[in-house]
């Protein structure tokens, strides 16, 4: 079974409370999504392997450690996942970026795929899939199924707000994918929106409300 990490660090909780507030405007919302993604990235990359490197400090020799050349690829799910990209690239500027386009059918709440572009060398890369909202889990699960067809080395999922239903579905469909989120909320409502959640993430990031 996959590992679920809810990164409820005080800085994340503080930013999340502003993000959830319906009076927070587009500019601030966008900045907060990026900042929370950056803070979560710290936890999601905790297992990156290091290798020793001999360097000279101004005082003398030192065995330091640097990343062992692991190649990363982040894959935002369009649209809302795009809001998390800059925050991650701040910490991992060398990561490649793939894109998966999905929207939820308003009646069935099932994901409808419309775009997929991944780096050619994805077989050599560890992938982190990004989407702030894990509601029914259908979008994240479908995106991960699409990515698995290209055989990356590993896949993690990073969201911001998750519903119990979404976590359960994603773990059932993809028990090999570890999940990182900032909050686990109460439930879904009748429209499959997360309660209390933060509303429609894509609309709030791009001002299309
Ligand atoms: C939202 C969100 C996720 C999905 C989550 O996207 O960004 O992709 O819904 O719901 P699920 O877990 O039930 O699949 P939406 O379909 O609204 O598209 P958008 O990002 O283009 O607005
Ligand atoms: N998509 C969103 O943007 N928000 C939700 O609460 C559920 C799906």
- Is 104 one of the catalytic residues? yes
- Is 142 one of the catalytic residues? no
Report the DSSP pairing between strands 161-162 and 183-184. parallel
Tokens of 167: 């976590």
User: What is the tens place of the pLDDT at every residue in 10-64?
Assistant: 999 999 999 999 999 999 999 999 999 999 999 999 999 999 999 999 999 999 9
User: What is the tens place of the pLDDT at every residue in 182-196?
Assistant: 999 999 999 999 999
Mutate to test the pocket of ligand 2, among 167, 193, 198 (most ligand atoms within 8 A of CB): 193
Tokens of 66: 């640097």
pLDDT at 70 over 80: no
Q: Which of 7, 104, 126, 204 is catalytic?
A: 104
Locate the ligand 1 atom nearest the alpha carbon of residue 142 and give its number: 14
Whether ligand 2 lies within 6 angstroms of the CB of 86 is answered as: no
Q: What values do phi and psi take at 108, rounded to 5?
A: -90, -20
* Nearest protein Cα to ligand 2, atom 5: 193
pLDDT at 69 over 90: no
Ligand nearest to the CA of 81: 1
Locate the ligand 2 atom nearest the alpha carbon of residue 203 and give its number: 3
């Amino acid at each position: 079974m996959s590992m679920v990490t809810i990164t409820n660090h005080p800085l994340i909780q503080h930013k999340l409370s502003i993000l959830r507030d319906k009076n927070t405007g587009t500019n601030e919302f966008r900045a907060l999504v990026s900042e929370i993604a950056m803070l979560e990235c710290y936890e999601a990359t905790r297992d990156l392997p290091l290798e020793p490197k001999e360097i000279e400090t101004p005082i003398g020799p030192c065995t330091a450690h640097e990343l062992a050349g692991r190649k990363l690829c982040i894959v935002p799910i369009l649209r809302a996942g795009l809001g998390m990209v800059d925050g991650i690239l701040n910490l991992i500027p060398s990561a490649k970026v793939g894109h998966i386009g999905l929207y939820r059918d308003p009646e069935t709440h099932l994901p409808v795929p419309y775009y997929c572009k991944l780096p050619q060398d994805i077989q050599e890369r560890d992938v982190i899939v990004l989407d702030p909202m894990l509601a029914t889990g259908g979008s994240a699960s479908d995106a991960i199924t699409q990515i698995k067809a290209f055989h990356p080395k590993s896949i993690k999922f990073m969201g911001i707000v998750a519903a119990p239903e979404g976590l359960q579905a994603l773990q059932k469909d993809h028990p090999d994918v570890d999940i990182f989120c900032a909050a686990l909320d109460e439930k879904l409502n009748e429209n499959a929106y997360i309660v209390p959640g933060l509303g429609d993430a894509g609309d709030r990031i791009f001002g299309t409300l």
